[in-house]
Amino acid sequence: MIPAFGAGAAIARLEALENDYTGMETVEAVHDDEASLDDDDDVYIQKKQKGTKRKTRQAKALENARKATRNFLELLHEANLEALPPHVPSYLRAAVGPPSSTCRRHFCTVCGFTSNYTCGKCGMRFCSIRCQKIHDDTRCLKFVA
Per-residue pLDDT tens over the stretch 50-103: 555 556 888 888 888 777 777 888 888 888 888 888 888 887 777 777 888 888
Burial class (CB in 10 A: 0-12, 13-18, 19+), 126: buried
Model pLDDT for residues 41-50, shown as the tens digit of each residue: 444 445 555 5
pTM summary value = 0.32
- Residues with Cβ within 8 Å of residue 35, at least 6 apart in sequence: 29, 41
